[in-house]
Amino acid sequence: MADKLLKGLIFNNEISVSVLDTTDMVNRAIKIHNLSPVTAAAFGRTITACTFMASGLKNQKDKLSVVVAGDGPIGKITVCGNGDLYMRGYVDNPSVDLPLKPNGKLDVSGAVGANGRITVIKSMGLKEQYSGSSKIVSGEIAEDFTSYYALSEQQPTAMALGVKIGKRGKCIGAGGIILQPLPFASEQSLEKAENLMNQFSNVSTLVETLGAEGIVNEFFKDAEINEYQPKYRCLCSRNYLKGIIMSLGKAEIDDIHEKQQKIEVKCEFCGKKYVFTKEDTDKLF
């Protein structure tokens, strides 16, 4: 099953709803980065929130970069995406493992840390990039992005995110449900939305059992829904790296070759390796 983002309006078109299934995306990241269950959960929640955020970009070429930098053992979580919803990312320390919490759930907040910042940069074809930042409030990711939206974008947001990891380390359900009121939303609609969000404490199980379409049919059947297909897709290329090599200048590149015989670059997002010999770089210059 491919990943999905379903978006629509509910409660007299006063509340925006987004339902995401990002299970495939998380499994791709687990495979590329060899993520432990708890880092997969932290990363999965983050890339789900960022996929929703990227869906707000107006143009296909617009770009998004998000860093969740907590004081927990996994270090920074970095996620990038664009208006096409091509998403990618990595975690500083993917092999971190922590004991389960007393309720049997993965200790995401312990891995991320309760202190630090979320930083968001959006490149939307303007002279100045948009940059926003807010403090991490719990390390549970959903609460942290809810706080980010309230403080940095002045947008009230209710967010439920979840990642369920099976016994063999494979993700069996990942996604989110996100509600945002439009500026003219009535108190009645806001109250209904708040009551509805109380039903999504186990969103990963809902994604596992119902899928995104099933969740819409169960909870939002009157909404007119638009469907999008996000993907874990890296945009690295040999041509892109050629530009970086050229920007360093021939003297520095020759110095690297003298010390290492070759230039080897590994993409942090997909793990692909690119090798440039002295002959390759001489042709560039």
Please state which architecture CATH assigns to domain 238-284: Alpha-Beta Complex (3.90)
- Residues of each domain in the chain carrying CATH 3.90.1280.10: 238-284
Give the H or E element holding residue 37: helix 37-54
5 touches 146 (CB < 8 A): no
pLDDT at 218 over 90: yes
pLDDT at 134 over 80: yes
- Residues of each domain in the chain carrying CATH 3.55.30.10: 4-232
Dist. CA 59–CA 125, nearest whole Å: 9
Model confidence pLDDT, tens digit, residues 109-131: 999 999 999 999 998 877 778 89
pLDDT at 94 over 80: yes
> Per CATH, which fold does 4-232 belong to?
Hsp33 domain (3.55.30)
Structure tokens at 213: 């379409």
Model confidence pLDDT, tens digit, residues 7-54: 999 999 999 999 999 999 999 999 999 999 999 999 999 999 999 999
pLDDT for 23: 98
Range scoring the smallest mean pLDDT among 38-47, 48-57, 138-147, 239-248: 239-248
pLDDT for 1: 67
Question: Can you give the pTM of this predicted structure?
Answer: 0.93
pLDDT for 125: 73
**Residue 104 banded pLDDT, cuts 50, 70, 90:** confident
pLDDT for 143: 97
Model confidence pLDDT, tens digit, residues 175-194: 999 999 999 999 999 999 99
Q: What does the DSSP 8-state code read for residue 90?
A: E
How large is the greatest C-alpha to C-alpha distance in the chain, in angstroms?
70
Residue 89's nearest CA partner among 232, 216, 196, 212 is 232
pLDDT at 227 over 70: yes
Residues 6+ apart with CB under 8 A from 36: 94, 95, 96, 97, 169
Q: Can you list the alpha helix ranges (DSSP code H) found in 82-154?
A: 108-112, 142-152
Residues 6+ apart with CB under 8 A from 222: 10
Structure tokens at 247: 């920007």
* Mean pLDDT score, 238-266: 85
Half-sphere exposure of 119 (CA within 13 A, CB side): 11
